[in-house]
Amino acid sequence: MHYELPECERACECCGNQMEKLGVKLIREEVVYVPARLYKNHHIQHSYECSCHNPKFDAKPIKSAVVPRAVFDRSYVGPSLLAQVFHLKYVLSVPLYRQVNDWIRTGLYVERKTLANWVINGSDYYLKPMHDLLLAELRSRDVAHGDETPFQILNRSDQKPATSQSRMWTFHTLLDAPKPVIVYHSSLTRARPVIEEVMAGFEGYLHCDAYVGYQSITGIITVGCWAHARRYFVDVPVPKGATSHATTAIRYINKMFKVERELKALKPEQRYEERQKRLKPIIDEFYDWLTTFSAMGKLRVAVEYALNQKESLLRVLEDGRLQLSNNHCEQMIKTLVIGRKNYLFSTSERGADANAYAYSIIASAKVNGLDPFKYLEYLFTHLPNLDFHRQPELLEDFLPWSETVQEHCAALPNLNQTAS
């Protein structure tokens, strides 16, 4: 914007003559927000005929141009609109009832029930097959992480009250793997069969907490979390400025994490060797020290946790790919927790499953360097034209590490700082 003096103010106060323009100066720059704009995209099919046949005896040859299929039959929602609904709910944690007013501001009058149907049907028809492929990829690896959190479902098929604690689980591969995968799973219980179902066929190390459900599952070797062990000692009440057994334990574990940070850039084979030299002596000394005193109260709880979990906590020394904590997986759960604070619950099990499928696709997209909105729009644009339910192999080209997907859906630099 240019700001000029009106003609009546350009007279010189000394002589009365009109002043001549001296120059211009940039004072500041401002970013202007332009609200989103919606428009209708009319899909018009053209048809062609030939008069080479006598219409009295034969039908005229007719050809029609191919029209891409709609995301949903008899619905006005397009790929970009549907992708934005998912992006708002699962990336920005905006619940559907709040989206209604935002869409009205942009000129789209839509009911919350309609948005819910779009999300559930879109997840069930398009994202579930992608989720299943990602889960199969995760099961084929030999190192994974797992965690879960309560997630309320109002209308349950087991007839239990809505206050019964259903769960949302997350499992992921090593995040620095060539094809990282993050999957979520909804269940009505926290029972061991849920883990056995999700991780069926998996054979290898699973980073997890001390929950008994993870234990003694065929093919799974549990890896303990030193961050969990440290939290038990942090919970021990200690007078400010005082030194206690709890603070000594925390110093030991802090030394372990300091060594891990210094070994982070090494290859797994080198990290394994360095851990034997630098990390193992600290862990051995820590466990020797734990037996030198008797503990009471919360300190006793912390000591018993470390001793009871010793076997799984020591497993970090067995493979250079293993990690000292399960914090990455907990960060994935926090993404869900933020959304849960806003939309509180799922009305149905289908809705909870839809959440799991959407979070899986979006989290896996992020960790593979994709823009979640671009990726969702890409899927909703191309998948309606593929018979992928009968030929699931067609979906291989749409996985987040696919070369074509990477070309069309890559995120801007620094857009995805984490997978959360």
Is the confidence at residue 183, as pLDDT, over 60?
A: yes
Distance of CA 234 to the CA centre of its chain: 29
406 or 155, which is more confident? Answer: 406
Q: What is the pLDDT of the chain when averaged over all its residues?
A: 90
pLDDT band at 337 (very low <50, low <70, confident <90, very high): confident
**What pLDDT shows up at residue 415?**
62
Provide the β-strand partners of residue 185: 169
Alpha-carbon torsion, ordered 375, 382, 138, 189, to 10 deg:
90
* Domain-located, residue 125: yes
Q: Which of 236-245, 272-281, 325-334 has the highest mean pLDDT?
A: 272-281
CA–CA distances in Å: residue 360 to residues 138, 167, 269 = 12, 15, 30
310 and 267 in one domain? yes
Residue 283, token pair as written in the block = 């862990």
Domain match, 256 and 314 both: yes
Q: Domain end: 294, 318, 342, which one?
A: 318
Residue 192 within any structural domain of the chain: no
For residue 298, tell me if it sits in a domain: yes
Residue whose pair of structure tokens reads 């109002």 in the numeric block: 154
- For the segment 46-66, the average pLDDT, to the nearest whole number, is 83
Cα–Cα distance for residue pair 137/173, rounded to 1 Å: 9
SS3 percent helix, strand, coil of the chain, rounded to 5, is 45, 10, 40
47 located within any domain: no
Q: Which domain holds residue 98?
A: 79-129+350-409
Identify whether 13 is part of a domain.
Answer: no
Is residue 361 over pLDDT 60?
yes
In a domain, 372, yes or no: yes
Residue 384, pLDDT above cutoff 60: yes
Domain boundary among 269, 298, 318: 318
Q: Are the C-beta atoms of 99 and 89 separated by less than 8 Å? A: yes
Domain end, chosen from 270, 298, 318, is at 318
Whether the CB-CB separation of 335 and 364 falls below 8 Å is answered with no
Residues 244 and 314 in one domain: yes
- Considering the domain architecture, whether residues 229 and 314 belong to the same structural domain is answered as yes
Q: State whether 233 and 311 are in the same domain.
A: yes
Q: Are strands 153-155 and 346-348 parallel, antiparallel or unpaired?
A: parallel
Question: Is residue 285 assigned to a domain?
Answer: yes
When pLDDT is averaged across residues 31-38 and rounded to a whole number, the result is: 85
What DSSP string runs through 32-45? --------------
The stretch 364-389 carries a mean pLDDT of 95
Claim to verify: residue 299 and residue 235 sit in the same structural domain: yes
How confident is the model at residue 92, as a pLDDT? 92
pLDDT the model gives residue 52: 81
What lies within 8 Å, CB to CB, of 67 at 6+ separation is 43, 45
- Whether 382 shows a pLDDT value over 60: the answer reads yes
Q: Is residue 395 part of a domain?
A: yes
Of the listed ranges 10-19, 249-258, 260-269, the least confidently predicted one is 10-19
Q: Give yes or no: residues 311 and 356 share one domain.
A: no
Q: How far apart are CA 323 and CA 330, in angstroms?
A: 13
Closest CA to 168 of 419, 367, 353: 353
Instruction: Dump pLDDT digits (tens) for 89-101.
Output: 999 999 999 999 9
Number of domains in the chain: 2
Whether residue 281 is found in the same domain as residue 233: yes
Average pLDDT of 272-301?
A: 93
Q: Is 283 helix (H, G, I), strand (E, B) or coil?
A: helix
Please tell me whether residues 230 and 309 are part of one structural domain. Answer: yes
Where is 148: in which H helix or E strand? strand 143-150
| pLDDT over threshold 70, residue 370 | yes
pLDDT bin (cut points 50, 70, 90) of residue 419 is: very low
